[in-house]
Amino acid sequence: MIEPFDDTYFMKKALNEAEIAFEKGEIPVGAVIVIDNKVIARGHNLTEQLNDVTAHAEMQAITAAANFLGGKYLKGCTLYVTLEPCQMCAGALYWSQISKVVYGARDLERGCINLKTKLHPKTTMEGGVLEEEASSLLKRFFVMKRNLN
């Protein structure tokens, strides 16, 4: 049987969010949160528009998912995010006790893996899903920004 709802399917939804950020002139990172194969929250980076360093895609998705579920813990949920989470977002994921985190591209400098941010023991993390797409969108954004300045 073909399973239509796999990691690639949901990462594409996160990439759609990243593209919306791109169009708004934001660093293009997008996220969705999924439970039982349903998207219950979406978010894209809005740090420029909101003038707020905390407005990362993941933070907004975490808040929206908790709002949808009516409880602050995201047990049974999976976060799909186009870029490896930073310390702040990984710290928020720690508190949420989310079951799984799937990211696209690595962030070697500011990502939670190399900075060793602690995740909750109940959380598993994997990466590399649609990595090329996520990474090339980011590269396009920074090339465009450089040419504008």
| Helix, strand and coil percent figures for the chain, each rounded to 5 | 40, 20, 40
> In sequence order, what DSSP letters do the residues of 117-137 get, joined into one string?
PPPPTT-EEE--TTHHHHHHH
Q: How far apart are the first and last CA of the chain?
A: 51
91 binds a copy of itself (CB under 8 A): yes
Annotated ligand binding at 44? The verdict is no
121 is a contact residue toward a copy of itself (CB under 8 A) = no
Give least dist CB 54 to a copy of itself, A: 5
Active site residue 48: no
Pick the closest to residue 55 from 88, 23, 13 (CA basis): 88
Q: What are phi and psi of 113, to 5 degrees?
A: -70, -55
List the one residue from 51, 121, 146, 147 that touches a copy of itself (CB under 8 A).
Answer: 51
User: Does 125 interact with a copy of itself (rule: CB under 8 A)?
Assistant: no
Residues marked as catalytic: 58
> Which residue ranges are tagged as binding site?
56, 86, 89
Residues lying near a copy of itself in the complex (CB under 8 A) are found at 47-48, 51-54, 59, 62-63, 66-67, 70-73, 86-92, 94-96, 115-118
